[in-house]
Amino acid sequence: MNILGVSGAVGHDASAALFVDGELVAAVEEERFLRDKHAKGKFPLQSSRYCLEFAGLQPNDIDLVAFPYAPISLSSPARWHYARRYWYAPDRALPAIFNGNRRYRRNERGIMEMLQQLGVKDGRSKFRPVEHHLAHASSAYHLSGFSEKTAILGIDGKGEYATTFFGYGENGRIHKLKEFYDPDSLGGMYGALTEYLGFDMLDGEFKVMGMAPYGDPKKHDLSRLIKYDKQGFSVDTHLINVIGLRRYKEKGQSYYFSPELVDWLGPKRQGDEIDDPYIDYAASIQQLLEDVSLGLIDHYLGDILKETGKLCYAGGVALNVKLNQRIIAMPDVQELFVQPAASDAGTAIGAASYVANESGESLAKMEHAYLGPSYTNEQCIAACEASEHKPVWEVLKDAPLRGAELLAAGNPVAWFQGRMEFGPRALGNRSILGDPATKAIADRINEQIKYRERWRPFCPSILDRVAGEILQTDHPSPYMTFTFDVAESWKSRIPEVVHEDGTARAQIVTSKTNPRYYSLIEELEKRTGNAVVLNTSLNRRGEPMVCSPTDALNMFYGSDLEYLIMEDVLVTK
């Protein structure tokens, strides 16, 4: 059976994913084709075309189209909760009761138009809506490879109404235990403080997380933001997660927090520096998120974790790697699987996997995230020849060897190979690389290439045979979804990938999933003694990760990079 999953339900992160007979064969975000970060307000037309083309399918070969957004019944507590908590905005509260989640009908019309453009006949009969948080849950559980009873966690901003999901999976079926509803959202709370700290929601949460280790979480108590006991929580909608007239406005823009928050904490942060008191606010909101999340996990999932120790996790907050480190440290957690595309882009996978499971398909474990387009040497050369920059290029006999030589000499290298990663993390196929022992290489990449805040951390890609020694654990980490404490003996050897708090957000590389990248790191090890490379995504600030050779060349000539390796083609300035 051919099942196409399409996302974009909540107005951002449109993507498409294709399952063929239970195997995930292709997945890609629309932003990569449109060159528009998060593809806001778009549906995944180009992504769907790619998935079909990769699998050699025609539009009418699609058996089912799964979409991660469903109508919510009036009998559900979700609509009533939303209306009660947003009583001060009757233009939102009353439609929740009398009109339901009206965005569903808008979404359905948009998807039908997209399927028509794609060439799918009778798209409505193939259309299968899936509740947003069930899609998140399925994207983690059904692709984890866990066969025993498994705890399932979902935390994000919101879907239709739900914001937080606790459940479990058993024998392929997902069971709900508890949901929390908008505006009571941990992701929304963190997002509101992200805006207050001067960053954009969807992207800035990573920056707040990176800023937090520089601050003191005890210096400011932010617990006023949320009422919490072990069974539940509610946010203070006089301060955050606000709509309508309660929103703080500045220079014509409305924010997800109120003027009361500004009266309490002071002016909204401006600029790129990690300055007082804002670094302490970042530390405090990170601590608050962790403490509340861990308490809820223990309450709702503790018995299941004691039984099997397995936990699956998705939703935007699942990309908070510091929280994930604390989850792994919980005494009853033996293994945590985080969907690498945990944000709403991953709901394309989840909707399709949920429908596939309901249809009786046997789903294969997700072994890697290399699910996007790839390009040949000939296509890379053609892009060079067509470029207005008239690149100087040559074909290499051994690209990993040459790449390692350049890295060992202290140069950052743009590394473009194989199928593009699905999700927000560069995992060695669309990456900027550096030698983590080269002094100030991280600052150079931040300032001259990525054009981003100087305090942002970089990640290490580590060969599997040394990862245990460096990270002091044997926990799987193929997707950069966790941080780990770096062993003292390694901190001075790879200082450029160790963050302020002594941790690293690591990718463990295996020769099975990425032999060419593995070979590059091995060659670097021969020259430096360290089987580790600094890895960050191949893009500039505010841009999507590059997809094609043309994208890579445009990024290359828009930065101070001097070396770009695309497959076996080396481009130099």
- Predicted pLDDT of residue 6: 98
- Predicted pLDDT of residue 453: 80
Q: Which of 376, 436, 359, 425 is nearest to 567 (CA)?
A: 376
CA distance 472 to 488: 10
Domains 2-142+341-358 and 377-572 fall in the same CATH topology: no
Q: Which of 98, 260, 235, 103 is nearest to 163 (CA)?
A: 235
Three-state DSSP class for residue 350:
helix
- Predicted pLDDT of residue 452: 81
Q: Which of 60, 17, 12 is nearest to 36 (CA)?
A: 12
Residue whose entry in the numeric block shows the structure tokens 């399709």: 352
- Give the count of alpha carbons within 13 A of 323, CB side only: 31
- Predicted pLDDT of residue 299: 98
Three-state DSSP class for residue 232:
strand
For residues 209 and 203, the answer to whether their CB atoms sit within 8 Å is no
- Predicted pLDDT of residue 454: 72
- Predicted pLDDT of residue 528: 98
Domain ranges within the chain, ordered by starting residue: 2-142+341-358, 186-337, 377-572
- Predicted pLDDT of residue 482: 98
- Predicted pLDDT of residue 117: 97
- Residues of the chain short of pLDDT 70, as ranges, are none
Residue 23 is inside which H or E element, if any? strand 23-29
Distances from the Cα of 135 to the Cαs of 211, 215, 352, 366, 508, in angstroms? 31, 36, 8, 15, 27
Distances from the Cα of 553 to the Cαs of 90, 395, 402, 420, in angstroms? 51, 16, 19, 16
Active site residues: 12
- Predicted pLDDT of residue 571: 98
CA Rg value for the chain: 23
Which CATH fold topology does 186-337 show? Nucleotidyltransferase; domain 5 (3.30.420)
- Predicted pLDDT of residue 393: 98
Q: Which CATH architecture has domain 377-572?
A: Alpha-Beta Complex (3.90)
- Predicted pLDDT of residue 530: 98
Token pair of 141, please?
Answer: 């559980």
Distances from the Cα of 180 to the Cαs of 12, 66, 104, 148, 238, in angstroms? 22, 24, 20, 26, 19
Q: Which of 52, 568, 68, 569 is nearest to 315 (CA)?
A: 68
At residue 172's C-alpha, the angle toward residues 171 and 174, to 5°, is 105
- Predicted pLDDT of residue 455: 74
Query: Does the domain formed by 2-142+341-358 have CATH 3.30.420.40?
Result: yes
Model pTM above 0.95: yes
- Predicted pLDDT of residue 246: 97
- Predicted pLDDT of residue 273: 75
What residues form DSSP beta bridges with 167?
A: 152, 176
- Predicted pLDDT of residue 81: 98
Q: Which of 295, 289, 314 is nearest to 133 (CA)?
A: 314
Token pair of 560, please?
Answer: 């101070």
